Structure 1
Amino acid sequence: MATLLRIDASARAGSSDAVPHGSHTRRLTSRFVRQWTARHPGSQVISRDVGQAPPPPVTGEWIHAAFTPEHERQDWMRQVLRVSDALVDELLRADLIVAGVPMYNFGPPAQFKAYIDNIVRVGRTFGFDRRRNGDPYWPLLAGAGKRLVILSSRGDHGYHPGGRIGHLNHVEASVRTAFAYIGVTDVHEVAIEYDEFGDGRLADSIARAEAAVDALAAALAGVPA
């Protein structure tokens, strides 16, 4: 059975269908996981909440340690990379990554950016060799069959490609870019809009997003809805 990695990045701890002012992205990730496990009850689900427990940001010591060959690393380097190693290990185990990434000021939350910085790792998720002909970088997860689902939310509306303010949306594009760099290019997206309006348009957007999540979970699971 497939292993699903659920990542939540919202600063809000609760789900919007359970608590007032809760997170819409947690609502969608929870729904996706329920739909998926209902179709594949034997699946393993790994949960990583970077919204409530953010990974440490990259530091000069982290960079020094990451670019030091593993057999040459000192104990302090291994300690600096401990969280990053755990995050990369989870990612390597996962067949399907479901990431709840709300829009904060037109981009992903800082907590999720810290996650990205910890999993884009030389020698683990991408290769680097100055002596290589052409591009010295290459993705190490290419061909692994990993799929990514980005579940987002935003306060305004029209952030989709070609939408009224689509040019201001740096969430999905930045997440796609980072994952493509390490070799994950099969990406699917669903988003809730109108959060700041809080009226019937928000309710309609939630209903559409939930229906899209249900259909997507069924399609990726290979089981009729």
Structure 2
Amino acid sequence: MDNKLTQLEHKIHYRFQDRSLLKQAMIHSSYANERQMPKQACNERLEFLGDAVLELVSSEFLFTEHPKMPEGELTKTRASMVCEPSLAFCARELNLGAYLLLGKGEDATGGRQRDSVTSDAMEALIGAIYLDGGFANAKEFIHRFVLSDLEHRKLFFDSKTILQEIVQAHFEDPVFYQLTGEEGPDHNKSFQVAVYIGQEMWGTGKGRTKKAAEQEAAYQSILMLHQKNIK
């Protein structure tokens, strides 16, 4: 486990003074329960702390970046930036699921790819960095891995809507999604989807649900369309 934690430190550009905090951030409750560890040994308390730090940093970021945005819009924007799918997206970019300590059942049913699990681990990691290195280091991590490239993430989360708008503006044929495959047992299934505009395929996607696969396929299609200067 020590080698994996070192790998993770390199990825996040932060070296822990207290390595036990990083390890705790990676301990899911299922792992702690399976090994009859104390309840507080899992990452849930760190997640609680990291959530608060993340809310403060993202609030400050929006307040500074958008001086004319009203309070209601600030609240709505912040919620979309730090919601479960958004944090899970950030966790995937770090491949955070690979470093988690999960119970055998949770691992067998795809916990390493489950948004609820990886988003919680992302918040726990923020909490661990805050305790280990203070607010400035936690803020730097959040700016680097959560608040960066927001336009890119918005494109991903709104991909089906954005693709629909592009197709309506530039094509006569409609867009449609076709399920091209399924694999895995019922408790850990993944789906493959292709996106067509008329008869032409523009992108493919894979996900734990059909909706997630469609979202990924739409996103890949948008990137292809952008390469051809169709926006």
TM-score (norm 1): 0.27
Q: Whose helix fraction is larger, Structure 1's or Structure 2's?
A: 2
Larger radius of gyration: 2
- If asked which structure has higher relative contact order (CA below 8 Å, sep 6+), I would say 1
Q: Which has the larger share of strand?
A: 1
